Amino acid sequence: MHAPAIRTPHQTATDPHELLHRSLDIGLQFKAGQEIFGRRSTAGQIRDLLVADLPVEPMTDDEVLADFVDRVLPLCKNEASPRFMGFGDTGDDQLALAGSVLATLTQQNMINQSFDSPSATFIEITVLRWLRELLGYANPSVAQVNSVWDVGGMITPGGTTSNTVAMMLAREAKAPGTMQSGIVDPSQFAVVVPRGIGHYSVKAALTWIGCGAHIIDVATDGFRYHTDELARILREHRGRVMAVIAYAGDSRTQTVDDLRAVHDVVREIDAKIWLHADACWGLLAAFSPSLRDKIDGIAEFDSITVDPHKIMAVPYGLSALLVRDPAVVRTISTYSDLIMQEDFAFGQVTPFIGTKGWMSLKLWMMMLGRGRAGLAELADHRHEVAKTFAALVDTHPRLVRLNNPDLAAVVFAYLPAGIEAGNLDAAELGRLNRLNIAIHARMLAEGRWHLHQFTLPDDLARLRAGAVVHPLRFMANNPAVTEAHMRDALAYLDHLALDLDGEMP
Ligand SMILES: Cc1ncc(COP(=O)(O)O)c(C=O)c1O
């Protein structure tokens, strides 16, 4: 008598090759679509369509895929549509997509090297070294890389995690041993950020790691630190400041701070303050000889966050935290007798994360496929596209540009009829903000075009110095966007403004 064949619990008739090829075709076809949304519905409608009980009986593979295609996919946002101009990258590099698929299929676990990711760990190290070098951090020779503490960085899923790890490093530098002893005096963990343009992740990080939300904001000038004010604040709070954050590309305008000046001011007052550069966007400048000067001084900072998933055409998620002195990572390391007792186990140096997928493979493949020359081309092209859009804004009679693009973002506002740019009074400003909020709301509801919106201090005084504006933002990170798309987007704005301005009080 034969033993019964072992059946896997979920055995279906579909050939896995066929299923996965079909899924790939569905995904690629989705990305190639011209529209941002196949269908637009309210959150309540989508909830009622999708939130359901788990069925008792299994569905076939074909049924599951068809259900996804029919009910879920048409409601998904397609960032690769040439009408999507609002945020970061669209994740379209072919090798990056291939790397993403291969990382899934190979199922490496970056927590350990020896048995979990024998080669993948060294690909991760390679990518981290490439990023470090581009930014100007010195790398030890390959022969000197004998453990994860010689690498000088870690891969994380996003900029928020990277910034949080940076704040842990700052905390340990300020009060060594806090990892073990806990916070004793929260008042000594204040962090300095530029007013009105900081990213929420720093404040969130401080609350998550027990430091308390002790944020000190400093006045800005042209979306950069007002350095005299920075010096004054540091003197006023001497001894209390754990870190100063500078943006190499803030979240709103992508203005790159004067990093060398910030470094010099801070170091003159206090040699110990942790200097962190958030270069989620500004990494782009490291690729191009013509943009490199913008981030001059970044290599003097203690740590740098970069977000390849925002600017390097790789799919979500992929960020890295890099540190000037690789050894500092020891201050936040975790040791376990269960796993990770080996020199190259990244699990030891990556807070908050145990099991970790091979996120760096897509970047390794993308960077090899582009080389230094291709990366420079990518950066220059994006900056040129931003300048093209800025010129279109400048020649439009009803648009006012609110930033001078350092990288790929153009921030602008639509002027209501009868209002001229420059020194608006409160009533005019209110009307302008209401119009731009209404334009953006209508744009989101219709889903045909996408520009971003947020609040912004009018730091260049284009409307009224210091006013809080609700502008629109174009981002040049989508490779599918042509000048014709930009012109069409502006024509669409004209159409919305004509419609909405008349309705405004
Ligand atoms: C300057 C800056 N830092 C950090 C982040 C957070 O990055 P993530 O969304 O990858 O966590 C963002 C996101 O927009 C950002 O613009």
| Predicted confidence (pLDDT) per residue in 74-122, tens digit | 999 999 999 999 887 899 999 999 999 999 999 999 999 999 999 999 9
The verdict on 497 and 470 lying in the same domain is yes
**Closest Cα partner for 65 from 25, 97, 104?**
25
The verdict on 27 and 105 lying in the same domain is no
Can you tell me the distance from the alpha carbon of 84 to that of 480, in angstroms, rounded to the nearest whole number?
A: 9
Does residue 8 lie within any of the structural domains? no
Q: In this structure, which residue's CA is closest to atom 2 in ligand 1?
A: 251
The DSSP letter of residue 416 is: P
pLDDT digits (tens, 9 = 90+) for 49-64: 999 999 999 999 999 9
**Closest Cα partner for 343 from 179, 147, 502?**
147
Question: 317: cis peptide before it, omega within 30°?
Answer: yes
The alpha carbon of 160 and the centre of ligand 1 are apart by a number of angstroms equal to 6
The alpha carbon of 67 and the centre of ligand 1 are apart by a number of angstroms equal to 33
β-strand pairing of 220-221 with 241-247? unpaired
Does residue 20 lie within any of the structural domains? yes
User: Which of 319, 344, 369 represents a domain boundary (last residue)?
Assistant: 369
Contact residues of ligand 1, CB 6 A cut-off: 158-160, 163, 199, 201, 247, 251, 278, 280, 307, 319
What is the structure's pLDDT at 505? 58
What is the structure's pLDDT at 2? 52
pLDDT digits (tens, 9 = 90+) for 296-333: 999 999 999 999 999 999 999 999 999 999 999 999 99
Looking at the CA of residue 87, tell me the nearest atom of ligand 1.
Answer: 14
Phi/psi at 198 (5° precision): -70, 160
- Residue 157 in contact with residue 110, Cβ under 8 Å? no
Looking at the CA of residue 319, tell me the nearest atom of ligand 1.
Answer: 10
- Residue 500 in contact with residue 434, Cβ under 8 Å? no
CATH number for 379: 3.90.1150.170
Which positions of the chain have pLDDT values less than 50? Answer: 1
Q: Which residues, including other chains, have CB under 8 Å from residue 68's CB and lie 6 or more apart?
A: none
Q: In this structure, which residue's CA is closest to atom 5 in ligand 1?
A: 159
What is the structure's pLDDT at 170? 98
Can you tell me the distance from the alpha carbon of 89 to that of 111, in angstroms, rounded to the nearest whole number?
A: 28
DSSP per residue, 222-258 = TTEE-HHHHHHHHHHTTTTEEEEEEEBS-TTT-PBP-
The verdict on 324 and 183 lying in the same domain is yes
The verdict on 63 and 140 lying in the same domain is no
476: left (phi over 0), alpha (psi -120 to 50) or beta: alpha
The per-type count for the chain, helices as H runs and strands as E runs, is: 15, 15
The alpha carbon of 281 and the centre of ligand 1 are apart by a number of angstroms equal to 8
Percent above pLDDT 90 for the chain: 90
Can you tell me the distance from the alpha carbon of 432 to that of 437, in angstroms, rounded to the nearest whole number?
A: 9
Does residue 3 lie within any of the structural domains? no
Does residue 86 lie within any of the structural domains? no
The verdict on 348 and 414 lying in the same domain is no
The verdict on 199 and 265 lying in the same domain is yes
User: Which of 369, 398, 418 represents a domain boundary (last residue)?
Assistant: 369
The verdict on 166 and 315 lying in the same domain is yes
Does residue 87 lie within any of the structural domains? no
Would you state the structure tokens that stand for residue 103, as one six-digit string? 């990382």
Question: 297: cis peptide before it, omega within 30°?
Answer: no
Q: Which residues, including other chains, have CB under 8 Å from residue 495's CB and lie 6 or more apart?
A: none
The alpha carbon of 280 and the centre of ligand 1 are apart by a number of angstroms equal to 6
- Give the containing element (helix H, strand E) for 208: helix 200-208
The verdict on 245 and 387 lying in the same domain is no
Q: Which residue has the tokens 């068809």?
A: 66
Can you tell me the distance from the alpha carbon of 278 to that of 251, in angstroms, rounded to the nearest whole number?
A: 10
Does residue 42 lie within any of the structural domains? yes
What is the structure's pLDDT at 108? 97
Does residue 490 lie within any of the structural domains? yes
The alpha carbon of 278 and the centre of ligand 1 are apart by a number of angstroms equal to 9
Q: Which residues, including other chains, have CB under 8 Å from residue 187's CB and lie 6 or more apart?
A: 214, 240
- Please count the structural domains in the chain: 3
Does residue 155 lie within any of the structural domains? yes
Can you tell me the distance from the alpha carbon of 100 to that of 162, in angstroms, rounded to the nearest whole number?
A: 20
The alpha carbon of 85 and the centre of ligand 1 are apart by a number of angstroms equal to 17
The DSSP letter of residue 456 is: E
What is the structure's pLDDT at 1? 45
Range of the domain at 411: 373-501
The verdict on 128 and 184 lying in the same domain is yes
CATH number for 340: 3.40.640.10
Q: In this structure, which residue's CA is closest to atom 16 in ligand 1?
A: 251
User: What's the mean per-residue pLDDT of the chain?
Assistant: 94
The verdict on 362 and 220 lying in the same domain is yes
The verdict on 345 and 470 lying in the same domain is no
The verdict on 134 and 183 lying in the same domain is yes
Q: Which residues, including other chains, have CB under 8 Å from residue 131's CB and lie 6 or more apart?
A: 153, 283, 306, 308, 320, 322
